Amino acid sequence: MKRKVLMVANQFPPMGGSGVQRSVKFAKYLPEFEWEPIVFTRESNKGLIDESLLQDIPKDLKVIRTKSYDLNELGKPFNLVGKFISRKILIPDGDKIWYEKNKDILLEYIQGNDIDVLYTTSYPYSDHLLGLYVKKHMPDLKWVVDFRDEWCNNPYILDMGYSKRRMEKERRMEREVVDNCDYFITNTPLMLKNFLKDYNIEDKSYVIPNGYDEEDFCDLSKDYVKKDKLIITYSGSMYGRRKPDYFLQAVNELINEQKIDKDDILIRFIGNIPNKKINEINETYSLDGVVKYLPYMEHKKSIEKLIESDILLFIIGEGKGAENFYSGKVFEYMNTNRPIIALVPPKGVAADVIRETKTGYISETTNVNNIKDLMLKLYTDWKNNTIQLQPNWDKIKTFERKELTKQLVTIFDKAYDNR
């Protein structure tokens, strides 16, 4: 008989975006290791939707979908007010109402069913508040906490400019979660190192990185074939520090210096790119016909776009905390057999994993001259049909989703045995 884990994952298909990948892939592969996942999530009728991700969900997976109470999804003109309340008023995040409305529903379900382990994953951090609520009522139930990103040290939260009073409150929430959980997971070593500075949790802490699913690449050839244009692709969201400005400045200067022929190059941005950012790029750089914007697309189709590229652009903006995380997208990049231009903190975890896997070239995000040197090298290699990459495939394979699920199962097994 399979053991049961209840997974609290607010972000779950058909919701799209990078935030759902970790949870849906764990849910996909857990049954292969004698664990039955049950997912507690929210309805997803609006916003970013990717129904193709539903194909990853096992047919017999029980998914408990609750009303979302998402103020970001209010219709006009109330949506602006809703976004303000979600970002500035609700603590720790816009899903606090979802937590309040559903905490007793979750507790009653667990009390009425044979659940062996409780697992919560963030973002949103309200997921962990649900876990904390259950733990306080059922202290003997083992609780595994998974931080996809940091909480109070998260660079995007630091950039929000929250008041000292609010941050103190969030720090208290964070401490309660960390102190009360039985097992603690982060997805990067530096992220865990940061938590260890603040909390005495070394004996219950683990690192499980994000990764890629080899099944998403089936029927796709990774062999490189030169195309009529040098295609550079960026896939993912663009917000806050994560912006392509310095890269586009570098390309623009190379074109103006006649080191790159404008007709030879195509830069594609795929994803949820704000219109404001698109207009800003179009107004700032003379790259008509060079830059192309493609909307968010189904996950498999986005991988196809990566495979048909010559170079992949990866960006993590600089600033406090930026060295501690890597977007999940980088692991899919690494599995394409295409060189990556990584504009990331050189001493951060994203740079480390690219070096370890030998999958790309690294530059500080703001170092335009270095970006120009890398771009000119890759452009010249493309012209001469000498683009070469010798990835460390043994290292890359350690980030395959099934292998990562096996690591999670080790923690679940330990939690079960120590009940």
For residue 392, give the CATH number of its domain: 3.40.50.2000
Residues 336, 264 share a domain: yes
Residues 183, 117 share a domain: yes
The rounded distance, in Å, linking the Cα atoms of 327 and 340 is 14
How many folded domains does the chain comprise? 2
Closest CA to 92 of 166, 28, 163, 144: 166
pLDDT at 30 (0 to 100): 97
pLDDT at 82 (0 to 100): 82
- Indicate whether 155 pLDDT > 80: no
Mean pLDDT across 2-26: 94
Residues 373, 388 share a domain: yes
pLDDT at 340 (0 to 100): 96
Residues 165, 63 share a domain: yes
pLDDT at 19 (0 to 100): 85
* pLDDT band, residue 330 (cuts 50/70/90): very high
Residues 407, 390 share a domain: no
- Indicate whether 358 pLDDT > 70: yes
Residues 274, 192 share a domain: no
Residues 258, 150 share a domain: no
Token code pair at residue 189: 């070593």
Mean pLDDT across 85-98: 92
| The 291-294 sheet, strands edge to edge | 291-294, 265-270, 230-235, 311-315, 340-343, 360-363
Closest CA to 35 of 415, 417, 412, 401: 412
Mean pLDDT across 271-277: 80
Asked if 143 and 134 count as a contact pair (C-beta separation under 8 A), the reply is yes
Closest CA to 26 of 42, 6, 46, 43: 6
Residue position matching structure tokens 């022929």: 261
- 15 phi and psi angles, rounded to 5 deg: -60, 135
Residues 166, 288 share a domain: no
pLDDT at 77 (0 to 100): 72
Residues 91, 120 share a domain: yes
Please list, in sequence order, all residues whose beta carbon lies within 8 angstroms of the beta carbon of residue 269, skipping any fewer than 6 positions away.
234, 238, 244, 291, 292, 293, 294
Mean pLDDT across 77-91: 83
Residues 234, 111 share a domain: no
Supply the range of the domain harboring residue 121: 3-211+400-417
Residues 350, 247 share a domain: yes
pTM score: 0.92
Residues 91, 66 share a domain: yes
